[in-house]
Structures are given as structure tokens and as C-alpha cells.
Amino acid sequence: MHPMTILSVILAFCLLSCGGKGNKEEAKSTTPAQPVISSTATPEFNADSAYHFVARQVDFGPRVPNTTAHKACGDYLIAELTRFGAQLYVQETTLTAYNGDRLESRNIIGAYNPENPKRILLFAHWDTRPYADQETDATKHHTPIDGADDGASGVGALLEIARQINQNDPGIGIDIIFFDAEDYGEPAFARTAKPDTWCLGSQFWAKNPHVKNYRAEYGILLDMVGHKEATFYKEGYSMQYAAPMVEKIWNKAREMGYGRFFIQATGGSYVDDHIYVKQGRNIPCVDIIYTSTESRNGFGDHWHTLNDTMDNIEPATLKAAGQTVLEMIYNR
């Protein structure tokens, strides 16, 4: 073979393999230095502000129901939503965990433009897992996690969105719900095999919405949206029930230069708060959640471990998720 031919074969192979490596690589080459916001009406999501809201929650300690950290963090979230001009609803209730534990719980809800029948529902869970049961060392399984990503990141991004909505009327109804007791689900070591032990707060709300006959056009769930290595695949149930909204969100993210995070491929299907909102209220929901095709459990390797700390949280990831949601609100 002529050396030149070999070279061109190598070149062609390289082009093919580089092009076929997947969206991560593709996104890198097309990502502009500055995200392009297609609508001037969309406010700028302040990533440092969101990061601060995440850190404040983590500072309380693990937000496990029935602890002082949980109570203090709940009070903080109520104070922040009030400061950002939302109409507040606090659902206080006692929920029963898989093991019979009685969990003093609060769903914390902030409504904007409550009289507007056209509404979008944004939600995240604010409690954290009492068990680091994904640690390889079983002696750590009963230690509560920081939940910087799993819990605090979604709430932090939504607090920043609340702050923006308070300054810029979106002309549509927005409800922000911080669900409690999402992450008290049955651990593998318990082996009771009870159904529906996760998402207790959203299960309660779905049966007892804060407004009678509550309706929203669609919902967006933010969960684990702060990790520096986050990738958001199109979640399976979201594709099943809300495919047009999924496509809209992922396309907007790509247009704004966030293709590195929002991967144009379908990932796994996960039972999360969005399932109960869909089942109970018939609201199609999109789950924006860090999942991975390379990790051992389908999520990031930090998931439900003691490594879910602030060290992994990066403003750039919060920005990608938060700015995309703002774009869905202001540039509909």
C-alpha cells in the first residue's frame, strides 16, 4: 500500500471514530464559548447564586426527616421562597416509611401568578438519604449522606429560578414544589420488598394537591443537576409520557450550547417524584437527572455514597440545567 493511501485511510478512520464517539465529543466541538440565549426576555440564571443556595442547604447537615438539620433547612427554604415573593403553601404531614418510621414531613410550595390557569410545575426533593447504601463498605450503609447533588442541587437551581421569576414576571403561572421524604426508600439491606417506599412526599401531594383539582400543562423535575461530570440523558418514563417536552428541552439546551450536559439519547427509566405527579395528577413530566452509561449503578458513582459532597458541585452544571428551564418559561 502506498504511504499516502495508508495516511488517508488512517485519516478517514480517525474522522469516523471521532465523529462516532457520541454526543460528548460532538458537543465539545460545537459548544460556543458563551451560551447564546435566543430570547432577550429570558433572564440570566446566576450560577454562583444557585451554588450558594446548594451550599447553604448542605451546611445544615444531612436533611433526614425528624432531625434538627431537616427542620432548620425546611424553615430556610420557606423563608427564601417568601423572600422571593412566592405565595407559600406548606403541607405538614406525618408519612410512614418502609420500616414503620413516622416521618415528620413538609412539602414546601411556592406559587407565582396563582390566578393564571396556564401553569408549569417545577419540582425537586429537599430531603436527603439516611443511608449511604451504595458504599462498597457495608459498615457505612447506615450513615446519612450530604446530598449536595442528590437533593440540594435541584432545590438550589429552583431557588435561583424563583429569585429570577420574582424580578421578571413570566406572564404564566409557575409552581415550585420542594417535595419531602423522597429518599427514605427501602434500602437493599432491609429486604422488605414493599412497593412505593420512595417519593413519599410527592405521593402525598398527588393525593392531596395544595390547590383543589390542581392542573399544570407539564412538569419538570430537577434531580442531581449540580455534579461537575453530569450528563442528562432523555429519561425513559419522560419519553413515554412527555416526549414533545423532552425534545423541546433538549433542543433548547443544545441551541444554548449545553449539549455537553444534555445528551441526545434515551437513557434508563427511573421511579422518581415525576412518576407520582404523572400518575396522581395526570401531568406529563420531564425528569432532568444525572444518569450515566458508564457508572456501576446507572447514576453517577457518587450516588447514595458519602462522596455526594460540595466538592463535586460545579456552577457550570447548575447553569446548564437552570438556564434551560428559564428558557422554557420565558421563551415558550
Residues near Zn ion (CB under 5 A) are: 150, 183
Work out how close the CB of 183 gets to Zn ion at its nearest, in angstroms, rounded to a whole number.
4
CA 181 from centre of chain: 15
Burial readout 33-62 (b: 16 or more C-beta within 10 A, e: otherwise): eebebeeeebbebbbebbbebbebbbebbb
Amino acid at 304: H
Element (H, E) at 91: strand 87-96
Minimum CB–partner distance for residue 221 and Zn ion (Å)? 12
Q: How far is the C-alpha of 46 from the C-alpha of 68, rounded, in Å? A: 30
CA of residue 274 relative to chain centroid, distance: 10
Backbone angles phi and psi of 95, in degrees to 5: -105, 155
Residue 129 CB, shortest distance to Zn ion, in Å, is 5
Please state at what angle helix 273-281 crosses helix 236-255, rounded to 10 degrees: 110
Beta bridge partners of 88: 110
**Side chain identity at residue 106, one-letter code:** R
Region of residue 321 (left: phi > 0; alpha: psi -120 to 50; beta: else)? alpha
- Cα–Cα distance for residue pair 218/240, rounded to 1 Å: 14
